[in-house]
Structure 1
Amino acid sequence: MEAKNTMTLLGHIAELRKRLLRIAAVFIVSMAAGLFAAPHILTLLRTHSPLHVAWNVFSPWDGLRIYMSIAVVLSLLPTIPFGMYQIWRFVCQGLKPGEQKAAVRYIPFAASCFLVGVAFAYFVVFPMSLRFTAGINRQIGLVETYGVSQYFGFMFNIMIPLAIAFELPVIVMFLARIGILNPSILKGMRRYAYVVLVAVAALISPPDLVSHLMVAVPLIALYEISAWLTGWVHRKKQRAKEALEHAVTDGSYSAT
């Protein structure tokens, strides 16, 4: 029995190693493609920039740093979904069929929410913030000289928090699925959540009412969608529990 358990443990380790190697292989291939595509992406971003200004470098490493950063981001686009799928394939062996179906749905849903958040941040919030700051600079007579590292740092500081915020429905639905959250908890937290979301919107958007609303309203809508999804998951669990209790009462349920 001890030898069997040892072989089972070694088999799990070998399986995990195989899937990690697959993820690493996809990352390496994607990184090679990212290195090839990075100059074209940089040209595209510069051409469609909200402000047509020159990108300057203030350090010998700035160009290489941005080049590699773009390549890494491009390589992560296929690697993250593939990695999530490989991790799911590894852990699904210990899950029930119903749990497997529930878990696999989170992968495309999470990826879709992340991409929507990135698109909203890049096409709406980032141009709005950049034009606002540029307008302030011109009003006080400053010469706009943008460093490429600072430019992308400003862009990522806006995009990353919003992309993560758009994962809120996935996180809340998962927590509701495992029983940590329920509709009453979210309902009690609503007023505090609104304050936090408005504060976040104020931090990542220009300080005017229209900009605040353009960012705060989608964040609040995400919270309400999360609350609705939590209620849906909770009602579904309650119906399943009641059906099981009814089956046990009628004697039609038998444990295997």
Structure 2
Amino acid sequence: MNEKDMTVHEHINEIRKRLIIVVVFFVFAMVGGFFIAEPLMKFLQSSDEAQKMTLNAFRPTDPVMIYFQIIMFSALILTSPVILYQLWSFVSPGLHERERRVTLSYIPASVFLFLSGLAFAYFILFPFVISFMTNLSNNLEIEQVIGINEFFQFLFQMTIPFGFLFQLPVVMLFITRLGIVTPMFLGKIRKYAYFVLLVIAAFITPPDIFSHMLVTVPLLLLYEISLWIARIGYNKAQKAEAIQREIEEQERRERIDKELAARENSGE
């Protein structure tokens, strides 16, 4: 059944079915998260910067809370391909066959970019920020007493946003391929996009110019790369539509010629 022909009740049932699938996979992913949470927690504390700190639990529940948060985040990452596929399955009936194939390929790219954003933030940005703050405290002769809950909350706040920011190429390619916006429009609003990225960088970095540039420059490059990819995708879509129109026009002409030939034969 075409999505356009579905009733509201059928849409709701379709959403419910796909949500159930996501929830089931999420539960299984949480079970798997129990096995990887402890080694992952130790890995996140194994960086050189973290080794220089003594993490403290100010409440008895702090380690347990962090443990379950890591399980939840791990389960969400493991379930993300299923979530994206179910979202694609829900909207795909309203797309053309070629659009369905193209948008389906975005799922592995989206997961890869999300993991790349986490890796960039954890291996490059987070160590520098921690080092900067530690040196600042030492210069001010402030003895830091760091709680494990505060350490991991700061880690999550620094890394997870970059996982979503690195989705920019997929988002821009998706909206341009569907014709929602054009690369030309995205190019015209470049200065506004730069301003938004500058503000985002200011919120997630320490108040020094080097840290700000360390985040801002990759984000600006990411926008330009996304715009370049969007232009390529848009041009391919335009060429494909032009070829499809030519094929349809050729078929229409052949159909008219056959009809005229049939009329002439019937007249004879």
TM-score category, normalised to shorter length:
0.7 to 0.9
Shift of 1:89: 3.5
Match of 2:132 in 1: 132
* 1:60-139 equivalence runs, <5 A: 60-139=60-139
Uncovered stretches (5+) of structure 1, i.e. residues with no partner? none
Whole-angstrom CA distance in 2 between matches of 1:62 and 1:131: 24
1:189-211 deviation line (CA, Å, top 9, x unaligned): 11222233233223323344433
Shift of the alpha carbon at 1:10? 6.3
Deviation of 1:110 (Å)? 0.9
Partner of 2:265: none
Give 1:94 shift: 4.9
Q: 1:24 to 1:145 in 2, by over 3 A?
A: same
Shift of 1:121: 0.5
Equivalenced residues, count: 249
Alignment of 1:67-216 (within 5 A): 67-216=67-216
Q: TM-score, normalised by structure 2?
A: 0.81
Q: The residue matched to 2:105 in structure 1 has which SS?
A: helix
Contact 1:31 1:71 in 2 (8 A): yes
Report the residue type matching 1:178 in the other structure. L
- The 1:118/1:182 distance shift into structure 2, 3 A limit, reads same
After the TM superposition, which of the residue ranges 208-217 and 59-68 deviates more from structure 2?
Answer: 208-217
Greater displacement, 179-188 / 196-205 = 196-205
State the partner residue of 2:28. Answer: 29
1:45 CA displacement: 1.8
What residue number does 1:40 align with? Answer: 39
Per-residue deviation, residues 100-125 of structure 1 (Å, max 9, x unmatched): 20221111111111111000000011
- SS at the partner of 1:143? coil
Q: Deviations over 1:119-145 (max 9, x none)?
A: 000001111111111111111111111
User: Percent of counterpart pairs with the same letter?
Assistant: 35
Residues 247 and 253 in structure 1, CA contact (< 8 A), matched pair in contact too: no
| Aligned equivalents of 2:185, 2:193: Cα separation in 1 | 11
Structure 2: gaps of 5 or more residues: 256-268
Tell which structure's C-alpha radius of gyration is larger.
2
Q: Which moved more, 1:153-162 or 1:241-250?
A: 241-250
Q: CA deviation at 1:69?
A: 0.1
